[in-house]
Chain A
Amino acid sequence: MLQDIVKLGFQITGLILLQFVIFSNINFFGLINPYPYIFLLLLFRLDGSLTTLLFIAFFSGLFLDITLQSHGAHTIALLVTSFVRSSLYQFTIGVNADYASKVWESGAKMGQQTNFLVGLIIIHHLTYFSVIFFSWSALPAILIHTLSSGLFTFLILWLTLMLYQKNR
């Protein structure tokens, strides 16, 4: 149990550091950055405590906001995505889905897992860019950024998910 917590701690720290050091500096086409740190929402046990997840999301987001000067956008996006994760899991995998420890251990089809991943990415990116632009008039920009960064994030996370599937 303790080993799992320490492992999760290292994984989350690694993800946050990767985001801070590499992924936030890609600036593909001058504006596209992936946000694969949301993989921490897949690493955290699906049947784990939401309270713990909310605090992990808050402090991870806070660290990114302080280091990336994003003034709270990462915190808000991560909090919102964490809060809806459970409902999204039931929506995409199915209401009768058993809560497995991890999504790749749930026995759900690859398509269902992909839907869950896409849902998480859309909610996170939409919230993140909405907070960044914070204006109705910037709606087209919000959608463009969500789509472009989302595609990038999806590619990275989907490959990672596949990797986890193979190692299982």
Chain B
Amino acid sequence: MQQLINAILRYRNALIFAALLSISFILLNNKSDYHQTQLSQIELWFSGNIFQAQTNVKDYFSLQKDNLKLTQENTLLQQQLLQLRQPQQEPVEKLNFQVLQARVIKASFNQARNMLVLNKGAEDGVTPEMGIMSSEGIVGVTKTAVTHYSSGLSLLHKDLRINAKLKNTNAFGSLFWPGDKPNMMKLTDIATINSISIGDTIVTGGMSNYFPENIPIGKVFNFSILPSKRYYEIDVQLFHNFTTTGNVYLIKNPNKVEIESLN
């Protein structure tokens, strides 16, 4: 207390100056309309900046909450998008894909058989053989699920084959990873009677049990005709970046068991 009094006494002139100056500015503000307008503009600029800084800090701390909200919203939208991507003649009730949101917490991309670990498990409704996709394209297929976590085969897995097609011609083939670059896959079994050009979009075909039709995968990077002259061999540049982790969506096909029972 004594120190505070000492400090006040030491800086009394500065404090008196500040007080008298403030009174002068109040006088200025009250007596002159012009100065009142100018001062209110300065006040607005000042308070605007302070509130902006305050909001920035607050926003930073609520990022996780906002992210969760956004991913939940995205999950719902993805579910609706999946319905819209299906051919119109299909009865809607049959295409009721379930979508769950998850986050890739570990992903390998430099091995022959790459795996993913997701932060959602059996308790969240994850079951084996659910399709995994991101907002850019398909990512893989779930393999096992424990209570809170699940693992999956990445699309960059040598043993995984996905039914895919050229978006503009609907010509379908088999997509697999040759084990080379993490952003390139091969699409085979597309008959040469179909026209193809570099940049064509590759989407999921309708014959996969894991994914609904028309989910983006990548685009044609290069193609060649096999020596038999009957099929193309297409290099597909993937849309999803497998070297990063992030939010993904798990797709459950409710008709999968029924379809598999026919095989």
Co-assembled chains A and B:
yes
A residues in contact (CB < 8 Å) with B: 50-51, 54-55, 58, 61-62, 65, 71-73, 75-76, 79-80, 83, 131, 134-135
Q: Which of A75, A83, A134 contacts B34 (CB 8 A)?
A: A134
Q: Can you list 20 A-B pairs with a CB-CB distance of less than 8 A? A: A51-B13, A54-B13, A54-B20, A55-B20, A71-B27, A71-B32, A71-B35, A73-B28, A75-B20, A75-B24, A75-B27, A76-B25, A76-B28, A79-B17, A79-B20, A80-B21, A83-B17, A131-B28, A131-B35, A135-B38
Q: Do B24 and A51 touch (CB < 8 A)?
A: no
Q: Which residues 203-223 of B have a CB within 8 angstroms of A?
A: none
For residue A120, give the distance in angstroms from its CB to the closest CB of chain B: 16
A131–B38 Cα gap in the complex (Å)?
11
A119–B35 Cα gap in the complex (Å)?
27
Q: Which residues 1-42 of B have a CB within 8 angstroms of A?
A: 12-13, 16-17, 20-21, 23-25, 27-28, 31-32, 34-35, 38
From A55, A72, A73, A131, residue with most partner B Cβ within 10 Å? A72
A72–B17 Cα gap in the complex (Å)?
14
Count of interface residues, chain B, beta-carbon cutoff 8 Å: 16
Contact mask for chain B residues 229-241; partner A; CB cutoff 8 A; 1 contact, 0 none: 0000000000000
Q: Do B13 and A134 touch (CB < 8 A)?
A: no
For residue A160, give the distance in angstroms from its CB to the closest CB of chain B: 27
A55–B19 Cα gap in the complex (Å)?
11
Grouping DSSP codes into helix (H, G, I), strand (E, B) and loop, the B interface class, with mixed when no group exceeds half, is helix
Q: Do B20 and A65 touch (CB < 8 A)?
A: no
Which residues of A have CB within 8 Å of B24?
A: 58, 61, 72, 75-76, 79
A65–B32 Cα gap in the complex (Å)?
12
3 shortest A-B CB distances, which residue pairs? A72-B28, A72-B27, A71-B32
Q: Do A72 and B16 touch (CB < 8 A)?
A: no
Q: Which of B12, B21, B28, B31 contacts A79 (CB 8 A)?
A: B21
Q: Do A65 and B17 touch (CB < 8 A)?
A: no
The chain B residue with its CB closest to the CB of A57 is B20
A159–B21 Cα gap in the complex (Å)?
31
A72–B12 Cα gap in the complex (Å)?
23
Contact mask for chain B residues 34-53; partner A; CB cutoff 8 A; 1 contact, 0 none: 11001000000000000000
For residue B117, give the distance in angstroms from its CB to the closest CB of chain A: 58
Which residues of B have CB within 8 Å of A58?
A: 20, 23-24
Which residues of B have CB within 8 Å of A131?
A: 28, 35
Which residues of B have CB within 8 Å of A55?
A: 16, 20
Which residues of A have CB within 8 Å of B32?
A: 71-72
A129–B35 Cα gap in the complex (Å)?
13
A58-B20, A65-B27, A75-B27 known, 16 other contacts, Cβ within 8 Å: A51-B13, A54-B13, A54-B17, A55-B16, A61-B24, A62-B27, A71-B27, A71-B28, A71-B32, A71-B35, A72-B28, A72-B31, A73-B28, A76-B21, A83-B13, A83-B17
Which residues of A have CB within 8 Å of B25?
A: 72, 76
A61–B20 Cα gap in the complex (Å)?
11
The chain B residue with its CB closest to the CB of A82 is B17
Which residues of B have CB within 8 Å of A83?
A: 13, 17
Which residues of A have CB within 8 Å of B31?
A: 71-72
Q: Do A50 and B13 touch (CB < 8 A)?
A: yes
Which residues of A have CB within 8 Å of B23?
A: 58
A132–B145 Cα gap in the complex (Å)?
74
